[in-house]
Structure 1
Amino acid sequence: MLSVAVFVFVGWIISVCLHEFGHAVVAYWGGDTSVKEKGYLTLNPLKYTHLSYSLVLPLVFLLIGGIPLPGAAVYIDVKRLRSRAWESAVSFAGPAASILVTLLLALPFFLGLAPAVPNHWIWEALAFLILLQVAGVFLNLLPIPPLDGYGIIEPWLAANVRSQLNGWSRYGIFVVFGLLWFSPEANRAFWQTVETVSTSLGVPMELAWMGYDLFNQWAAAMLVSLIVIGVVAQRVIPEPLQHWQEQGYQLLEQQHYESAIAAFDQAIRKSPGSAEAWYHRGNALRGLQRYEEAIAAYDHAIQHQSGYRAWYMKGNTLADLGQYEEAIAAYDHAMQHQPDSLNLGSLRGQLLTQLQRHEEALTTYDRLLQFHSDHAHTWIRRGNVLRHLERYEEAIAAYDRAIALHSNNYLPWLNRGLALGQLQRHEEELTAYQTAKELAPDEAAVGYAVSQVLFDLGRYEEAIATIDKTIYSNPELYQFWYLRGLILFHLMQPERALAALDQAIQIQSNDADLWIERSKVLHALEQHEEAIASYNHALHLSSKIGID
């Protein structure tokens, strides 16, 4: 029956819009205001859908197998979201909207308002549409890329795991459909679950499958019509600006940067003043490390719409080029739009620290903490700046605030130890490092710090045992071999000390202090000519790098 097919078709389009609107509105609340600029908050189907990817392909799946999935037509700028929790919330928002639609559609059945004996085709159509909605929700919540179920857990996965799984994202949908198509057991288990949930909502399964039969009478005709319309539209109708931009977003997300640039170039030809196209063109160029061209693209975006994002990304790109002063200026422009931005304030403070402008960095962190007083890493960075300013007691207080906020993080304990060491409070320093080591037993910097303070305390046997364990896991770091040499020399083992220092020199031969220590060991071994040669080499290195 054509009426059933049209009803299901229209119902599906509405559900797609609400699903994508759910993603967009939560992204907007979470910090990505670009979704408003892209028109995703309008509930306009044309803003969410791309003819090929968001409408035709899902409907082909619907018409062939009766299993729809919303098209991935909303492109979120994840970098603008405030936290991983918001990233997960954005992914869950689409299925949540679909669940709400399903519950609303099922109300007549759940409340007993539907007739016991259907007297109109709409009841069969509605029951079938509910069945499809339930199936879509279950499929979309599978933790398989690129489905929303995977998007919910993705922010919490390790970077290497995310990278591996994202490489399979383009095949995920086909794997799922292939499994349901070719595995009778998987197909049976899936539909039994869908039927159980639908039945619990009051939907009679006989009615739903009657709706499927009525829908299927027109499935072939609608499928052919949709394919013909799609092909004709692609050949006859000029691609709109939105098409090229959304194609660019998708290619950018897949890291196909050259193709993304080509898509954004097409968008710019249609609308030279499109700040959105210029901005994302800059992102694609930055992905190719073509930084100067990326900055030029961001400048175009700023010219047409001076907003937060283009200034922020221009600052990041200038920092990539080592142009820290210019990067700070760009961040300052961005902060005019978002003065409370945690990310911007942190980056600005870190660049000022690199430039040794510690007082300004401290002011930046102090202002940031007015908005984000519960952010442990900002307290750590503030403590590090105070250490550079030799304000060690204040630094310790900052690390203590970080520990109170995040007691399982080893970094504030490690840095607290460094500040205590500057105050010659070595026993407290050791206690701080030992706590850090309990929290991060495999962290090389912690093992080195423990070894160093044990050495400073004259506990050489414990120091050598600790540094040996650390070197076993990190044999490529010359500082560890250097410290091992110093410890062994104090243990009156000059031969082993010399071997350790020589190993350090193989890794890093330009450290003048290392050659001086080597000279001392050689003198102890009465190898005086080699000792003099080693000392002269140290003097040569010192004069070369301007050390007095």
Structure 2
Amino acid sequence: MWLVAIFVCLGWMVSLCFHEFGHAIAAYWGGDTSVKDKGYLTLNPLKYTDPGLSLLLPLFFLMMGGFALPGGAVYINTSKLRNRWWNSAVSAAGCVAEFFVVIILALVFHAIWNQETFNLERNVENSLYVSSILSIAYVIFLNIYVIFINLLPIPGLDGYGIIQPWIPTRIDKKLNKFSSYGFWILIAGFWFYPPFGHLLRNISNHAIALLSIPDILVDVGGSMFRTYAQYLVLGLIAVLWIFRDKRKDLYRKGTRLISEGKYASAIAIFDRAVAAEPNYYRVWLMRGYALYCMERYEDAQISYNKALELQPDSSDSWYYKGIIFTDTDESYEALNCFNKAIEIQPDYLEALCQRGYLLIEQENYQQALTDFERAIEIDTNNSTAWHGMGKVIP
């Protein structure tokens, strides 16, 4: 049944969108307002999916009778989050959103399914009804399966992101080196140790049973999907690839290279993005950050100025300009930049702390104390703010 393949593909995309939206909205609530500028506060899959990683590979494995893999791409500026509780919450939010998808789909399933009258052979002529039942049952199973996979404490997965803020820094730095290989570690686990996959399958089957969904419907739905989905999936990927936001593809690639410490490569990618779309201010912002990391301060300031020309109310651009002025001992200019950043975003934690330290240098202790107190109100565990308080109060 072609309808099963269509419904499962659509269900997978919707689930992915809710998963990534969960990450984005939690980050927004937690302090990283940049997710709004990046276009992540939406259920549009083109805004944050990579057609290869997010859809092609997972659906390919499903068609081959394998396992569902999580996908999607939302890049969070964790330095903007208020505290490590929010860091954990952002990582957990994707699975929480997917759990709600499971509950909603389960309610829909039981609303339209009648155990006493439903029979695969007898109801087969009603293809829409049968396809809906089988598709919903299979999509519920896939979501449950992906939730358990994502909660594994493997670097690169949400499970590790939940515990990462609580891991000692020296240990996290060692483990984080494997974050780029988390996907392959997962595949290796399934490939070389079959009991690992069987365990996750059994756990998911138990969850399906708790929701009173017959496993025969899941099995038949999965079988029909794999039979009819091949050409549909290829067509879907082609459409997503053609209509993808190429500008954001370059931006995401550049930010990923920054996170890996490959600053020169990131700048080259951002230069390509600027050539394609000169008015995309976030590219100029991140390009400036990559230049700053390479200590190319003058070039970084040029990028930040261009970002501010395009979006004058960008608190991040003013903040990072202030950081460069601080590093080059231009205190007056730095203070003006931090003032502007805080004027735009009064709860900008990092800007408050940086301004506090500059005010200490100017012996303006009362205002510095006010800034550190405000920072501590925002994040009671912020060590930078407490250290500043210690320098102000004898």
TM-score calculated relative to the size of structure 2: 0.88
Partner secondary structure for residue 85 of structure 1: helix
Equivalent pair of 2:372/2:388 in contact (CA under 8 Å)? no
1:286-329 CA distances to partner (integer Å, 9 max, x unpaired)? 22232222222111111111211011112122223333332222
Distance 1:51 1:67 in 2: 18
Percentage of identical aligned residues = 39
Deviation at 1:85, TM superposition (A): 1.0
Asked if 1:208 corresponds to 2:214, the answer is: no
The one-letter code sitting in structure 1 at the alignment partner of 2:8 is V
| Aligned match of 1:364 | 368
**Corresponding residue to 2:268 among 262, 265, 268:** 262
Give the Cα–Cα distance (whole angstroms) in 2 for the partners of residues 158 and 15 of structure 1: 33
Q: Does 1:166 align with 2:176?
A: yes
**1:200–1:83 distance in 2 versus 1, CA, 3 Å:** same
CA 1:202 to 1:261, structure 2 compared with 1: closer, same or farther past 3 Å?
same
Q: Spell out, residue by residue over 1:168-192, the C-alpha distance to the aligned partner (whole angstroms, 9 max, x if none).
A: 1121112112211232221221211
- Does 2:327 match 1:320? yes
**Displacement, 1:380?**
5.2
Give RMSD over aligned pairs. Answer: 2.5
2:212 is paired with a residue whose SS is: coil
Which of 149, 154, 159 in structure 2 is aligned with 1:144?
154
Offset of residue 211 of structure 1: 0.9
User: Hey, what's the Cα distance between the residues in 1 that align with 2:7 and 2:27?
Assistant: 30
Give the equivalent residue in structure 2 for 1:190.
Answer: 200
Q: Could you say which residue in structure 1 is the equivalent of 2:289?
A: 283
Structure 1 counterpart of 2:256, which letter? Q
Opposite residue 312 of structure 1, the aligned amino acid is: Y
The equivalent of 1:11 in structure 2 is 11
Partner letter of residue 252 of structure 2? E
State the 1:221 CA deviation.
3.7
Deviation for aligned residue 1:337: 1.0
Give, as a single letter, the amino acid of the residue that structure 1 aligns with 2:299: E
Deviations 1:128-162 (A, max 9, x none): 11111111000011111111111111122222222
Is the radius of gyration larger for structure 1 or structure 2? Answer: 1
* Residue of structure 1 equivalent to 2:318: 311
Counterpart secondary structure, 1:6: helix
What does the per-residue CA deviation read over 1:418-438, in whole Å, with 9 as the maximum and x for residues that have no partner? xxxxxxxxxxxxxxxxxxxxx
Contact map agreement 1:32 1:76 (CA 8 A) in 2: yes
The match for 2:127 is: none
| Cα distance change, pair 379–166 in 1 and its aligned pair in 2 (3 A) | closer
Q: Conserved in 2, the CA contact under 8 Å of 1:308 and 1:334? A: yes
Q: Which amino acid is 2:367 matched to?
A: T
**Residue of structure 1 in register with 2:46 after alignment:** 46
What pairs with 1:211-222 in structure 2 (closer than 5 Å)?
211-222=221-232
Q: Tell me, in whole angstroms, the C-alpha distance in 2 between the residues paired with 1:194 and 1:114.
A: 23
In the other structure, the counterpart of 1:332 is 339
Tell me what 1:381 maps to: 388
How many residue pairs match? The answer is 380
Q: Distance in 2 between matches of 1:223 and 1:121?
A: 17
SS of the counterpart of 1:217? helix
Q: Secondary structure at the match of 1:363?
A: helix
**Does the aligned pair in 2 maintain the 1:63–1:223 contact within 8 Å?**
no
* Residue type at the aligned position of 1:182: F
Q: Is the 8 A contact 2:91 2:161 kept in 1?
A: yes
Letter matched to residue 370 of structure 2: D
What residue is the counterpart of 2:209 in the other structure?
Answer: 199
Is 1:107 the equivalent of 2:107?
yes
Structure 1 residues 330 and 247, CA gap change in structure 2 (3 angstroms): same
User: Within 2, Cα distance between the matches of 1:224 and 1:184?
Assistant: 28
- Structure 1 residues 66 and 99: CA distance shift in structure 2, 3 A: farther
Partner of 2:301: 295
Contact map agreement 2:113 2:133 (CA 8 A) in 1: no
Equivalent residue runs for 1:440-519 within 5 Å: none
- Counterpart check, 1:271 vs 2:277: yes
Is residue 19–residue 70 contact of structure 1 (8 Å, CA) maintained in 2? no
Distance of aligned partners of 1:383 and 1:262 in 2 relative to their CA distance in 1, 3 Å threshold = closer
CA distance in 2, matches of 1:371, 1:241: 35
Alpha-carbon separation, structure 1, partners of 2:113 and 2:274: 54
Post-superposition offset of 1:72: 3.5
The one-character-per-residue Cα deviations of 1:321-359 (angstroms, maximum 9, x if unpaired) are: 333332222111111112343322221122333x3x22x
CA 1:22/1:159 → structure 2, altered by over 3 Å: closer, same or farther? same
* Contact 1:58-1:69 within 8 A present in 2 as well: yes
Corresponding residue for residue 32 of structure 1: 32
Matched residue type, 2:23: H
Query: Residue 57 of structure 1 corresponds to which residue in structure 2?
Result: 57
Structure 1 CA distance, aligned partners of 2:321 and 2:61?
A: 42
With 183-192 and 367-376 compared, the bigger mean Cα shift is at: 367-376
Instruction: Map Cα deviations across residues 472-521 of structure 1 (whole Å, 9 max, x no partner).
Output: xxxxxxxxxxxxxxxxxxxxxxxxxxxxxxxxxxxxxxxxxxxxxxxxxx
Determine if contact 1:110/1:201 at 8 Å carries over to the other structure.
no
8 A Cα contact 2:321 2:337, kept in partner: yes
Q: Does 1:252 align with 2:258?
A: yes
Alpha-carbon offset, residue 59 of structure 1: 2.6
Residues 9 and 233 in structure 2, CA contact (< 8 A), matched pair in contact too? no
Structure 1 residue 61 displacement after superposition:
3.1
1:349 matched to 2:356: yes
How big is each residue's C-alpha offset from its partner over 1:39-86, in whole Å with a ceiling of 9 and x where there is no partner?
A: 111221211222333332333233334433332411111111111111
For residues 189-229 of structure 1, give each alpha carbon's deviation from its aligned partner in whole angstroms, at most 9, with x where no partner exists. Answer: 121111111111111111110111111212444455567x3
Contact kept in structure 1, 2:356 and 2:371, CA below 8 Å: no
SS of equivalent to 1:325: helix
Gapped regions of structure 1 (runs ≥ 5): 387-394, 396-548
Normalization by structure 1: what TM-score? Answer: 0.65
Distance of 1:58 and 1:254 partners within structure 2: 24
Distance 1:379 1:147 in 2: 32
1:261 shift after superposition: 1.3
Q: 1:265, CA displacement in angstroms?
A: 1.2
Give distance in 1, aligned partners of 2:114 and 2:35.
39
Higher relative contact order (CA 8 A, sep 6+): 2
